[in-house]
Structure 1
Amino acid sequence: MKKLMLLLKQGNKSAFIAACVNSIIAILKGIAYFMTGNVAMFAETLHSLGDAANQFFVFIGSALSKKAPTERFPEGFGRLVNLVLLGAVLIVGIMSYETIKEGFHHILHPTESNGIVINLTVLFAAVVLESYVLFKAMKEVVKEVNIEAKGAAAVIVKSFSGLRRAKPATKLVFMEDMVATGGGLLAIIAILLANFTHFRQAEGIASVFIGLGMFYVVGRVFLENAAGALGEADVDMRLKIGTMVMKDPEVRDIQKLAVIKEGENFHVELEVELDAHITIAEADMIKDRLIAEIFKERGVTDVIIEFDENDGVANWQEKIHSKVKEEKKKR
């Protein structure tokens, strides 16, 4: 039990806070739905319930992924967070389907709902709480990718540019609460339209759009974590480490450099070329120096370095030029 508690302390804090907040929101929305029968509130209840369950799974998965390697699993448990996220999106997928189905039913057979004050009060409180969680996730993104951001406006803007490089758990919380905040605002607009213009279908339309937003999160999370579970190469970290290694005065070239993302961690395999006159003792010192530098990068947990004799061919520089050309073509 003590080991489990120590692991849980290392879990993703954004996911834990989001799970707790969304649990409270789901209860409030559920009470409002049972009191008023509002279909947009039904959609929001399922949305918050799915987010809460998902984020609890993410928190537990991110904590367990920190478990030390064992004889049975010598590579560690880094990819466990990806597997947990793949399972968690199934919950959101089912709730997305139910939300869209209920929305279409309301569009075809619109009914009048009561309790506008209750619905709007609960939704307003939910939007405020979800905005708070979203901003916390934004701050976590900026921190994880080492982006300097001073002030709330800078955090919001720069978190979007750094989202791709954030940890899987933080990225999920960010996307879910962004959709949740937008869904809450959409539900408020739909309720106002239904009550003041008698456009009853507005609540059903809002429910469908909320469900589609949930499906978007499901798709993004599934694709990214399927790649992570298989062992996805991280191109940005590879370029960063390669550039750093080439600055070492004794390194002549890089024959091979693989940076594999395993959950929130990076596994680095490196083969560098040295001059033929380098002794074993000198090579060992170079290896220690390179390993120490690579381990300074956030998230690197495993480094394997091999040496080869310099063949006089600039292998790494050719790869860099090719990458620059590819980036120019994309632009």
Structure 2
Amino acid sequence: MKNFLRTFGALGVMGLISAQAALPDPTFDDDGYLTFYLDNDLFGGEDRDYTNGARLAWISGSERVEDLIGVQRYLRRLTGDADSFEVFQKVTGFEHPEQIVYNYGFSLTQLMYTPQDNASYAQPPFQRRYAGWTGVGFSLHVKDERILNSVELSVGTTGPDSFAEATQDFIHDLRGVEKFNGWDQQIPSELTVDLSFIQKRRLDFAQMGYGILRVDGIGEWGVRLGTFRTDAHLGGMFRVGYNLPPDFSDPRLSPTAYTHRYFNSGFDYDSDWSVFLLAGGSLTGVAHDATLDGPMFSDFNTGIQRRPFVAEVYAGFGVRYRRLELSYAHTWRTEEYRTQRGIAQVGTVGVKLRF
């Protein structure tokens, strides 16, 4: 399976990813991760606004910097390592560059948005505009024992070319539920290019252990610049549980949602089983959102007004058995546009496989 995923990864980045070499350094971890995320608002008992999201993300095992070519080598300039722009080294850099390790990844993501009224063939006034986005991402991740910096370049499309309508119709047919009739009113197709940066840091005050019961915490901040979305956020997450796995994934679908070995710590798996709870939150400032403002280079009015700040909290759990893990996180999000009817709720199912 590992060889198959490496071959698929090489095709996905158009031959830009080289085969992984043997890594003699014992602090390097050869395991990669395949993670699938599914967002849906039906977990909150509704079917409106941000209604569904799906993401398949693959990340390599640890790589030497000499093995990075093509896209990864260009993304290094934004990671804070020794080859980065000087400003990135000062703001996001590492105290001990000789201790860092690299992972590369790629992703396929689809997002869809709908109004609350599914029967009307016209766009319901003051409700969320029909919108879809599908994109592929190419990422580089650099980490030491305390810091993880992730950069992802996403190329995608909005509108009918995203196939969000076809996906929703297919799922509704399988479930035997009514379709949404107004997809002809969705935002138009437009090519999008986005660059995302997220830094995660270990929260040392939250690192505690009582035998098999452990607690950890991760703080994060990030910026996304692009034609699909431009924003900045600040947040964090805590976990507590039995045999906490020495890896972590973003518990929800995000522009850089992958699974990572727990920094470069040398921790190992103590048991076949892990059971844990998680909770977190974030505050995001949004400067542009194509699903709310309309595509950047199209003269298209969505009929709604975006709010500049969005806050959210989430809570959930995870269960791991050997190399397979299942998690669920429930998110409560404040209003994203001025005529939205109350907070939104979205549930995220995550399935990850270590190989």
* TM superposition score category, shorter chain reference: under 0.3
Larger Rg: 1
* Structure with the higher fraction of residues in strand conformation: 2
TM-score (norm 1): 0.22
TM-score (norm 2): 0.21
